[in-house]
Every structure is written in C-alpha cells, then in structure tokens.
C-alpha cells in the first residue's frame, strides 16, 4: 500500500526532478541539510547530516583499504610550486587550477607553495627518501585528506574547490605488480559502491584523452544518475615509472641493480554523497541505503499524548539501538504528517509509527522509504523484523538501480543512433577506432565524452560509430557531471 | 628481572635523554618512524606508525565527543581574509601567522583567502545563517581538520606549520550554558588523557595574557614532560558573545526578544602524540600506553628454525587477535636481539618470546615495556593473562607519570625559590597578585610562563611571589614547549 501523505508543501520548495534535475539536486542537498554553500564561491560546508554519511562511507571503505594491506598516513597540505613542474603531464593538468600560498601575514614567501590538488608529488618526494631496497617494497599507503582544485563551475559534492577524499599511493618492484594493485583497488571500489552505496557501476579503462594527468593508464567506475548522465565515481591509476623518474624513487633490487620503482594511485571523494542522491532520490527527497544512513529507523509516536504511546515508542527505539540499529525517536511538537515528510525527504530507510490503536493490537506500522510501502508487524518481533528489512532494502535498492542502469545502455552503430541514445538519457555503447578526433567530434556534436572502455570489449560491429574506420574496441559515451 | 639486551647500537644513534632531552625527542620520533620532516620547512609527515596512534586517539576521543551530544561536520579550509578582522583580539593573535592564498594558477584572486588557523570565523559566518530561534540551540558541532599556523620555531608534533586537530564550536542561549559547556569539555579532555593516554594533567584557567585570542576565558590542561617542562595539552574557551557580535549570530528567544548567542570552542591536536613520547619515554625509546599502541603485543619466535616454534607463535598471535588484542608476529630474518631493540624502541607494551625450550615446557616469556620486567606464563593461559596485563600496564603507566608529576610541583614564596624550582625541572606553584607585570617579569628572568590558575586556588601565602603585593590567587609557573 502506498503512503498517501500530502506532499504539496515539500514539492512547492523543491524543483520537479523530471523538469529540472540539476535544480532538484541542488534543492534537495540543501534542504535535507546534507550541505550548505561556504562563504567563498565554490566552497561547501558538509553539515552534520551529510558528514555522518561521509563517516559511514569512510569507516566501511577504510576497513576494506586496511584489509588489503594498506596503512594510513598524513602528508603536508603544502609543497613547493616547483614540484608540480617535475612531471610534464601532471603540471599541464593541475597547475591552472592550483591554489598558491604566496604570503604569511604581511610577509612574502621565498617560494610559492602549492596547495595539494592531489598528493603524488609531495608523497613521491618522501618515498624517494624512504625507499632504499626491495625489502621496502611494496609500500602501501593511503591518506584521508582535503584537496583543492579551483574549478570554474561548481556544484555541491560533485565539484567543489575543496573536497575530501582518500588517495592511495603505492610503490612496487615491477610494472606488473603496480598494474595488479591498480586493478585490485578498482575492484575494491566496485564492491564497496555496489554493496555499501547500492550503486551499480561500469568499470573500465579511461581513454588517453580522459586519463589522469601523469598516469600511464587510468581505470574508472562510472555510475548512472537518474537523468541518464554519468558520474565518475572513482579512479585507479597505474602511474608506471613516471613519478619515480621525476622524483628519483630507486631501489636496490635482489639482483644487485638499482631500479626505478613502479607506482599506483587511486581515490574516491565526497562526490560519492552526490552520487547517492542522484542515483536513489525521488520527488520526495533523498533515499539512503541502510549501510550509509545515519538514521536507519525513525520511530514516530502517533497521538503521543495518549497514555503509553511515547513510552512504548521509546522502549522500541532503545531495543533497536541495543540490537545495533541506528534508530532515533522523533518526540518533537510537530504533527505526524509533518514528520513523515521530513524523514522521507531526509531518506531514512524505515519509519515506524506507534499509536494508541497499534498499542492495543500489539503491532507497529512500518513504512519503507525506498518503495513507500507500508505494512504492519508484531511489536514483539519488531527488532529482528527491522534488522531483516534493512538488509532487504539494501539489496532491493541495488537491484532497482541496477535494472535502471541496464535499461539505459544502448548499443549504437553510428552518430545518429548515438545522439538519439544520449538525448534519450542513455549511455551509448559504441565501437570505436581509438582515435582522439572521434572523441572530440562526439564531444562537439552532443556534449558526450568517452566514459570508459570495458574490460571485455569485443567490437559488436566492425567499424567505428563515429568515423566508419575499422573499430579496435568498444567504449561508453555519455554526458557526464 | 630486568632485560639485559645490549643497547649500544641504539644509544649510539639517539641522544642521551638526560643530557639533551630535546635532541633525544627529535631522534626518537624520527627513528621510531612516528613522523618525518616534510619538504617545506616547518611541515611534518605523519608516518603510518604515528598515524595509527592518531587514529586510536581520534576514535576514542570522538566517541566521547559524540557521547556528550556533539555531531561532526566539515567547514571550508579557506575564508576571506577580511573575516579575521572582525574580532579585534582574534586578528591580532592570528593574522601574523596566517597563510594567504593570493593566486590560482597564474590568476590573482579578487580577495586574498586565509587558510584557517582555527575556524571560529568561518563557522560563525555559517551559524549566523543557521540559527534563528531558541529551538536551534544549543548547537553542538565538532570538526576534525587540518589547520595552518606559520610558526617561526617548529618541532615535530609539538609545533608545526600544519597540524591535525579537532575543534568543537558550540552555541548556547545563555552565558551560563556556554560556561558549563566549556568546563564540561575540559573535563572530557582530562578524563581522556588520563585514561587513554595515561597522562596526568593540571586543569585550570589561563591568565589574561595567555588566553586564546578572542576568548572571554580560556581553560587548559597542562602536562609535565620528563624534563620538567609544561606542555599545553588541550584548551577550552568560553567565547562569550565576542564572535556572535562580530558575526551577528542572533536568535529569537522564548520571551520574544532577539538576543546574541553565547559560544564555546575547544580543541586538542596531534601534539598529544608528542606528549606521549615526552611523558612516557625512556632511553630505549618511546613507551606507548596499551590504549593507543598500534601494536599491543609483539610475538617473537626464538630459534624459529626449530620445529614447531613459528607455528606455535603464529597460533598464539592469531588467538590474541581473535580476543581483540592488537597483536603481530615478527617473522623477519633479523636476530631476536635486534627485534627486541626495535620493538622496545617503538614502545610496544608487551613482547612475547617463544622458543623451543618454552615449547617443551608449555610456557611463553612475557616482557613488559614499561617496567622492563620479564616473566613466564603458561602458554594455555596466555590470552587472558595478556589482556589483564595490558590493563595493568595502562594503569601503572598513569600511576608512574602521576607520581613523577606530583613530585615535581613545588610551592614557592618568592622569585628565588621560583627560579630554583624551575631550574630543578619543576612546576612552581606560586601566589600571585594577578597583574601582567609579574608574569612578564617571570618570563624575562627565568623563561617561565603562567601555565594556569587551578580551580581551587586559595593562596597559601598572603603575598605575590613576584612583587610582594597582596595575592589574589595561586598560579603554576613553568617553562613550556
């Protein structure tokens, strides 16, 4: 049974997601208090509700990063501007958006300091001191930090001047080991976003045009937002020996020879919170998967003035908390309807209602945020039922997002089909000759970019969808955030 | 029985702590790989071993911050330089050491951006938007972040250009509630450093001269390092309405009147890691309390080539991990003696040795890092024995540090006694008239500063130890880091 609450008040203040998805997104992330705009243009405040989501993301991803043998460390925010120059592609990619500290108080510094847009340079400088021999390898370090990239166009969570992320930086004795690590972490990311964020992704290799500035090869996971656009949800780079040559990271190998080391780096950011909103949201607001919901179950007393209602609600909430469920009770003065709207907007997976009649009958009403279904369960069996339902919701949310994604991938054979697919809010899977000119043409004609090349990429047609020359691979084209 | 390992190799590379304590400190934090110097002068890299200590500090302090009703959030690294100007004392205190971003790439910014030395200003700017009515109060937010203060003289962990910390920022309806919060968090800090870091502290109020720039009143906890110097280990400020007036944080009170809000802020930093080293260390290296030891028990096979030894060591290590002990086994090629030195230097609370003879006799050797005592326990009962011993070590380390601290506090009646006390590596508890001139004189004559005024501060003599005028309070003077 669908819930019949009046949504007029909320809808009035939030844009229609069908008509203006980007505006719906902005309205929703602000109104749910996930975030706010900072005083400096392009900066963002992550408010307590949004930060609680980030903490749940951090904890569960950090566990996975540690389980694969990595240790956390912390490197400085600043490095000499000249560090950026050492790797030619890296400086071209990052220098234009790099924030520079030139003064402390009224004093000018002798050399400008760059604020990290990513930490390859400062970390490699340290690694060149720390690594002497093959015994020091592999070196597997991760950092949770803030980074700064001065973007022209910003959007909360998706693209802000400063953002939070984790960046893994590893060093290996061979190219093959670096490649293995690069792909391993891509799979760790995929498992994490699938099972924790309930977000399906396409994994594959970035094209030369789209790869990380300084990498030998970049791999990405691409998620599909509800408007059919792609969001790059995480990347993993095989840096080969590019930075080890620029920063002189050499080691004495078992064979007695000094060799340059091989590296990987990989990261995901606070934009994952934006992905959660854009993948699972609906016209009532956001919908959070239980694994990252700061409140998994909200308990709402109905006719709370009636004897026993508030007590029973509090008792149930306490039992849920004791059983490991992140539960809260809403005892505020507002009407139940107002509270239903608020917690639906904030995406709490389960709402429990307890009123005088429920009390008499020994039941509680259970409303699922993802399906909006409402059922009744026995009050005595509520705790195991809720725990089970949270698992069901987690799985169902992935299934729903996954079937949506799959329904929006279209194989295309030429530019016209590609345009139709992209205009229809789909990803276009196309055969491709592999040349940059075709990517540029697609970008120019329909503002779509090559998202990634799938690992199993047998061409399904013999020719490039853009230029008609022989195809060497398939690639996903889509508009992207 | 004390352990008889030869420490020659280690001692050769680390300064004698009696002769040159600051050099011993620097040698030890670098050699144990807690940290390293960053490429930019005054910056620091927190290496995996040091960062693991920080993660244990963070987790256990964060639990306490949340248990007292606070939520975490994240505010921007940057704010307009003009924000600093709004609170007169604040700008005087922080502007000279504030790092300024003036350019992005080659483009000059319209207004310089300050990098947070502390976040009162940017947070208050947001609070002025968020707070409307008494219903929004109290607002209890904490942030874990990096901050930047360009210090002339730096020392790893204790004073670095960038450091990590938490900063709580709360808003209340009355001065009294802000004061209550300020003192409450000081007590949360004290309980935390006592029970988790095993560090005793003196809590009290800072003098006007030493208070936070912009605060109405600052309270601190002061720890004593092994060289008798003080380290300010944490502060809690009652900001009164200073920032709410500067940033226009007003709320509509229950009585219908618009009022300025009242605030507190409080923080501890990565310098706590430095305190751990300087409070508990000895000539063999650092000594970590079990609660923040990344490795609580190191298992070392002796004559590992003998049948069964490595297997038994691995089995025991696995059992300890399963029981919740952070245990590791050291299977490297080096000699047992070399390993003993290394793990002692790194301050691992318990070392377990298992050799062929132990195996026959069903025992393992247990060495305590804090007392250097070595005993034998039954292999079968090892897990509960180790868990119990870890608790004992935690308590004993606090007791030892506490009795050291207490033995180094001297009541002084005049300047001569004060100098004698301070030269003898003590804190001097003195009566004081309360005037700034006497503080300045003590600073000038013996480089000691007023650390704090204890809460129970009945003068034990009638006159100020410095000027001889009537005393109004007692105060601790000490040299400080």
pLDDT tens readout for residues B336-389: 999 999 999 999 999 999 999 999 999 999 999 999 999 999 999 999 999 999
DSSP code string of A113-173: EEEPSSSHHHHHHHHHHH--BGGG-SEEEEEEEEEE---SS-BTTTB-SEEEEEEEEEEES
Contact A101 B97 (CB under 8 A): no
Contact A72 B141 (CB under 8 A): no
* Paired strand residues for B164: B146
Mean pLDDT of A192-198: 98
Contact B104 A103 (CB under 8 A): no
Contact A45 B74 (CB under 8 A): yes
Confidence label for B460 from pLDDT (cuts 50, 70 and 90) = confident
Which pLDDT score is estimated for A13?
81
Count of C-beta atoms within a 10 Å radius of residue B249: 24
Contact A73 B48 (CB under 8 A): yes
Query: Is the confidence at residue B108, as pLDDT, over 90?
Result: yes
Interface test with B, best of A33, A98, A104, A135 (most B CBs within 10 A): A104
Closest CA relative to residue B90, chosen from B121, B129, B67, B126: B121
Q: Thinking of the domain A8-280, which architecture would CATH place it in? A: 2-Layer Sandwich (3.30)
Closest CA relative to residue A355, chosen from A373, A333, A376: A376
What is the largest distance, in Å, between two alpha-carbon atoms of chain B? Answer: 82
Q: How far is A194 from chain B (nearest CA, A)?
A: 26
Mean pLDDT of B451-479: 92
Interface of A with B in 84-123 (CB under 8 A): 95-106, 112-113, 115, 122
Q: Quick one: which H or E segment has residue A314?
A: helix A309-322
Q: How far apart are CA A141 and CA B51, in angstroms?
A: 11
Fold of B409-478: Translation Initiation Factor IF3 (3.30.110)
ipTM attached to this prediction: 0.96
Burial bucket for residue B416 (CB in 10 Å: 0-12, 13-18, 19+): exposed
Phi, psi values for residue B451, rounded to 5°: -85, -60
Name the residue in chain B with its Cα closest to that of A152.
B104
Which pLDDT score is estimated for B8?
46
Count of C-beta atoms within a 10 Å radius of residue A332: 12
Which pLDDT score is estimated for A460?
86
Q: Report the phi/psi class of residue A42: left, alpha or beta, with left for phi > 0 and alpha for psi in -120 to 50.
A: left
- Do residues A23 and A254 lie in contact, with contact meaning Cβ atoms separated by under 8 Å? no
Which pLDDT score is estimated for A12?
55
A74 touches chain B (CB under 8 A): yes
The residue length of chain A stands at 481
Contact A100 B96 (CB under 8 A): no
Query: Is the confidence at residue B330, as pLDDT, over 80?
Result: yes
- Hey, what are A107's tokens? 């004093």
In A354-433, alpha helices (H): 356-361, 382-407, 415-423
Considering chain A, what is the average pLDDT of its residues?
Answer: 95
CB pairs under 8 A between A and B: 160
Which pLDDT score is estimated for A88?
85
Instruction: Collect all residues with Cβ–Cβ distance below 8 Å to B453 and sequence separation of at least 6.
Output: B204, B205, B206, B207, B432, B473, B474, B475, B476
- For A295-393, CATH number out of 3.30.1860.10, 3.40.50.800, 3.40.50.150, 3.30.1330.10 equals 3.40.50.800
- Do residues B7 and B283 lie in contact, with contact meaning Cβ atoms separated by under 8 Å? yes
Contact A150 B100 (CB under 8 A): no
Query: Is the confidence at residue B37, as pLDDT, over 70?
Result: yes
Residues of B in contact with A150 (CB under 8 A): 104-105
Contact B75 A45 (CB under 8 A): yes
Which pLDDT score is estimated for A11?
44
Contact A44 B113 (CB under 8 A): no
Contact B105 A97 (CB under 8 A): yes
Cis amide linkage into residue B138, ω under 30° from 0? yes
* Paired strand residues for A377: A364
Interface of A with B in 125-184 (CB under 8 A): 125-126, 129-130, 141, 145-146, 148, 150, 161-162, 164
Q: How far apart are CA A402 and CA A398, in angstroms?
A: 6
Q: Going edge to edge, which strands form the sheet with A78-80? A: A78-80, A107-115, A99-104, B99-104, B107-115, B78-80
In A196-260, alpha helices (H): 242-246
Contact A75 B38 (CB under 8 A): yes
* Paired strand residues for B10: none
Contact B38 A122 (CB under 8 A): yes
Contact B38 A73 (CB under 8 A): no
A75 touches chain B (CB under 8 A): yes
Residues of B in contact with A48 (CB under 8 A): 71-73, 141
Residues of B in contact with A83 (CB under 8 A): 39
The one-character DSSP state at B116 is P
Query: Is the confidence at residue A134, as pLDDT, over 60?
Result: yes
Residues of A in contact with B248 (CB under 8 A): none
Query: Is the confidence at residue B18, as pLDDT, over 60?
Result: yes
- The residue ranking higher by pLDDT, A208 or B9, is A208
SS3 A381: coil
Instruction: Collect all residues with Cβ–Cβ distance below 8 Å to A119 and sequence separation of at least 6.
Output: A75, A143, A145, A147, A167, A169
Confidence label for A3 from pLDDT (cuts 50, 70 and 90) = very low
CA-to-CA separations, B311 to B23, B46, B301, B308, in angstroms, rounded: 41, 34, 9, 5
Residues of B in contact with A141 (CB under 8 A): 48
pLDDT tens readout for residues B71-101: 999 999 999 999 999 988 888 899 999 999 9
Mean pLDDT of B297-319: 95
The one-character DSSP state at B206 is P
- Do residues B418 and B446 lie in contact, with contact meaning Cβ atoms separated by under 8 Å? yes
Q: Which of A168-177, A460-469, B4-13 has the highest mean pLDDT?
A: A168-177
Which pLDDT score is estimated for B426?
98
Query: Is the confidence at residue B430, as pLDDT, over 60?
Result: yes
B48 touches chain A (CB under 8 A): yes
Contact B39 A95 (CB under 8 A): no
Q: How far apart are CA B220 and CA B402, in angstroms?
A: 18
pLDDT tens readout for residues B210-224: 999 999 999 999 999
Query: Is the confidence at residue B3, as pLDDT, over 50?
Result: no
Mean pLDDT of B400-421: 97
Rg, Å, chain A Cα set: 25
B30 touches chain A (CB under 8 A): no
Q: How far apart are CA B39 and CA B221, in angstroms?
A: 32
Instruction: Collect all residues with Cβ–Cβ distance below 8 Å to B459 and sequence separation of at least 6.
Output: B431, B471, B472, B473, B474
Residue in this structure with the two tokens 């970049």, named with its chain if needed = A218
CATH classification code of B290-395:
3.40.50.800
The one-character DSSP state at A179 is H
Domain ranges of chain B: 17-280, 290-395, 409-478
Mean pLDDT of A17-38: 97
B67 touches chain A (CB under 8 A): no
Residues of A in contact with B47 (CB under 8 A): 73
pLDDT tens readout for residues A70-108: 999 999 999 999 999 898 888 889 999 999 999 999 999
State the sign of the Cα–Cα–Cα–Cα dihedral A327, A333, A335, A338.
negative
CA-to-CA separations, A159 to A44, A151, A156, in angstroms, rounded: 10, 7, 6
pTM exceeds 0.80, yes or no:
yes
Which pLDDT score is estimated for B1?
32
B318 touches chain A (CB under 8 A): no
Which pLDDT score is estimated for B88?
85
Which pLDDT score is estimated for B120?
96
Q: How far apart are CA A234 and CA A245, in angstroms?
A: 26
Q: B17-280: what CATH class?
A: alpha beta
- Do residues A25 and A35 lie in contact, with contact meaning Cβ atoms separated by under 8 Å? no
Name the residue in chain B with its Cα closest to that of A37.
B126
Burial bucket for residue B287 (CB in 10 Å: 0-12, 13-18, 19+): buried
Interface test with A, best of B93, B99, B148 (most A CBs within 10 A): B99
Which pLDDT score is estimated for A8?
46
Q: Dihedral of the CA atoms B50, B56, B58, B63 (nearest 10)?
A: 180
Interface test with B, best of A39, A47, A96, A321 (most B CBs within 10 A): A39
Name the residue in chain A with its Cα closest to that of B129.
A36
Confidence label for A7 from pLDDT (cuts 50, 70 and 90) = very low
Name the residue in chain B with its Cα closest to that of A150.
B104
């Amino acid at each position: 049974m669908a819930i019949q609450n009046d949504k007029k008040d909320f809808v009035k203040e939030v844009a229609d997601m069908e008509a203006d998805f980007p505006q719906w997104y902005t309205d929703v992330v602000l109104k749910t208090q996930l975030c706010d705009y900072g005083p400096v243009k392009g900066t963002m405040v992550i408010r307590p509700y949004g930060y609680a989501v980030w903490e749940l993301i951090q904890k569960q991803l950090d566990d996975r990063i540690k389980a694969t043998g990595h240790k956390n460390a912390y490197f400085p925010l600043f490095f000499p501007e000249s560090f950026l120059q050492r790797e030619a592609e890296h400086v071209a990619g990052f220098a234009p958006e790099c924030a520079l500290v030139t003064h402390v108080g009224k004093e000018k510094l002798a050399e400008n300091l760059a604020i990290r847009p990513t930490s390859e340079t400062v970390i490699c400088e340290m690694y060149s001191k720390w690594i002497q021999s093959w015994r020091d390898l592999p070196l597997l370090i991760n950092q949770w930090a803030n980074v700064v990239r001065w973007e022209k166009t910003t959007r909360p969570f998706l693209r802000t001047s400063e953002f939070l992320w984790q960046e893994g930086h590893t060093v290996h004795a061979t190219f093959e080991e670096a490649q293995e690590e690069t792909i391993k972490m891509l799979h760790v990311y995929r498992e994490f976003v699938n099972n924790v964020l309930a977000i399906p992704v396409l994994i594959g290799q970035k094209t030369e045009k789209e790869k990380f500035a300084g990498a030998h090869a970049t791999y990405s996971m691409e998620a599909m937002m509800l408007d059919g656009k792609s969001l790059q949800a995480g990347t993993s780079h095989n840096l080969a020996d590019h930075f080890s040559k620029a920063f002189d990271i050499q080691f004495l190998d078992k064979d007695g020879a000094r060799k340059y080391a091989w590296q990987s780096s990989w990261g995901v950011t606070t934009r994952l919170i934006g992905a959660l909103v854009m993948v699972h949201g609906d016209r009532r607001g956001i919908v959070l998967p239980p694994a990252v919901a700061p409140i998994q179950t909200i308990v709402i007393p109905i006719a709370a003035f009636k004897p026993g209602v508030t007590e029973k609600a509090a008792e149930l909430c306490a039992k849920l908390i004791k059983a490991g469920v992140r539960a809260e009770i809403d005892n505020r003065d507002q009407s139940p309807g107002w509270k239903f709207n608020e917690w639906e907007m904030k995406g709490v997976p389960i709402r429990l209602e307890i009123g005088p009649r429920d009390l008499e009958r020994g039941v509680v009403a259970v409303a699922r945020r993802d399906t909006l279904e409402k059922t009744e369960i026995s009050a005595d069996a509520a705790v195991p039922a809720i725990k089970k339902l949270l698992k069901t919701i987690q799985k169902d949310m992935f299934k729903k997002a996954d079937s949506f994604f799959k329904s929006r991938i279209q194989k295309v054979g030429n530019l016209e089909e590609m345009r139709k697919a992209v205009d229809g809010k789909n990803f276009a899977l196309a055969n491709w000759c592999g040349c940059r000119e075709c990517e540029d043409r697609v970008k120019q004609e329909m503002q779509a970019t090559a998202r990634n090349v799938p690992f199993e990429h047998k061409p399904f047609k013999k020719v490039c969808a853009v230029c008609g020359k022989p195809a060497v691979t398939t690639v996903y084209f889509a508009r992207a955030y």
